[in-house]
Amino acid sequence: MSEEKPVLVDVADGVMTLTLNRPGAKNAVNRAMAEAVAEAMDELDSNDDIRVAILTGAGGTFCAGMDLKAFVTGELPIVEGRGFAGFVEAPPQKPLIAAVEGFALAGGLETMISCDLVVAAENARFGIPEAKRGLAAAAGGLIRLPRQIPPRIAMEMALTGDFIDAERALQLGLINRTVPAGSALEGARELAASIAANGPLAVKLSKQVINESTDWTRDDMWQQQQAIVMPIFTSEDAIEGATAFAEKRAPNWKGK
């Protein structure tokens, strides 16, 4: 792959694939990469023909984190309003799947946990070793990771900087599934196809409820959910889904 573009973007069958394309630097995130990811995320959410996206890395590595060489020169891989890597503080509205080969470390892990689903190679490794470099996992490792795995395990990972393997990550629920080394992207595409086959409005709003409901109270959670999901039940897609089921055919979604 050429390193001329920091991110390669491909769209096929309703699935956008974003490939972090700095293999010589283990796909470390610099400013140019962050800006390219942010641009792709805008296209993902604005293009009705795209249902789901996959984020992966070139050269057998997902992402080794922030480009430290660029950091010491004063460059930060942050996009205003989007955060690190161009999206960790403002993930897309549509589903995003991480396809992980090799290492997802530091900002690479934080990028991974900003995705909705994770397919990882059996030999993948994960960690937030920022403390080993006198830094802190401030792109989500300290606040998002404890919400995805037991807080004591997140605490250990943050304070020691030690890595965990794919088997442990699967046990902890940090990733969805493991696949043989070299086939993470293939596995992610299978998962993406399953999502893309469903009603796009239902998928988008279901993701919204799951993400936002973590802050809801028992007193208002049903009302909050109702306000978001009601458009699903009054949509053209809902009628189409029921009709297609009765007629034993694949639905023709309109996303409305």
17 and 4 Cβ atoms separated by less than 8 Å: no
Q: Are residues 209 and 129 in the same domain?
A: no
Number of domains the chain is built from: 2
Q: Are residues 173 and 206 in the same domain?
A: no
Q: Are residues 216 and 133 in the same domain?
A: no
Residue 48 tokens read as 């009705």
Residue 2 lies in a domain: no
- What is d(CA 98, CA 206) in angstroms, rounded to the nearest whole number? 19
Rounded-to-5 percentages of helix, strand, coil across the chain:
40, 20, 40
39 is annotated as an active-site residue: no
**Count of H helices and E strands in the chain?**
10, 11
- What is d(CA 61, CA 19) in angstroms, rounded to the nearest whole number? 11
Q: Residues 184-227: pLDDT tens digits?
A: 999 999 999 999 999 999 999 999 999 999 999 999 999 999 99
Q: Residues 6-32: pLDDT tens digits?
A: 999 999 999 999 999 999 999 999 999
**Which residue in 35, 130, 186, 247 is the catalytic one?**
130
Q: Kindly report the CATH number assigned to the domain that includes residue 50.
A: 3.90.226.10
Give which of 181, 172, 27, 52 is closest to 107, Cα–Cα: 27
80 is annotated as an active-site residue: no
Which residues does residue 93 pair with via DSSP β-bridges, in sequence order?
A: none
188 and 98 Cβ atoms separated by less than 8 Å: yes
User: What is the chain's pLDDT, residue by residue, as a tens digit (256 residues)?
Assistant: 444 799 999 999 999 999 999 999 999 999 999 999 999 999 999 999 999 999 999 999 999 999 988 888 888 899 999 999 999 999 999 999 999 999 999 999 999 999 999 999 999 999 999 999 999 999 999 999 999 999 999 999 999 999 999 999 999 999 999 999 999 999 999 999 999 999 999 999 999 999 999 999 999 999 999 999 999 999 999 999 999 999 999 998 988 8
Q: Are residues 238 and 184 in the same domain?
A: no
Q: Are residues 138 and 23 in the same domain?
A: yes
- What is d(CA 52, CA 104) in angstroms, rounded to the nearest whole number? 21
**Which residue in 43, 75, 101, 110 is the catalytic one?**
110
Residue 253 lies in a domain: no
Residue span of the structural domain in which 53 resides: 7-196
Beta strand 52-57 with 15-20 is parallel
Look at residue 2 in the predicted model and tell me its pLDDT: 44
Sheet holding 103-105, edge to edge: 103-105, 125-127, 164-165
Residue 255 lies in a domain: no
Q: Are residues 102 and 218 in the same domain?
A: no
Q: Are residues 14 and 35 in the same domain?
A: yes
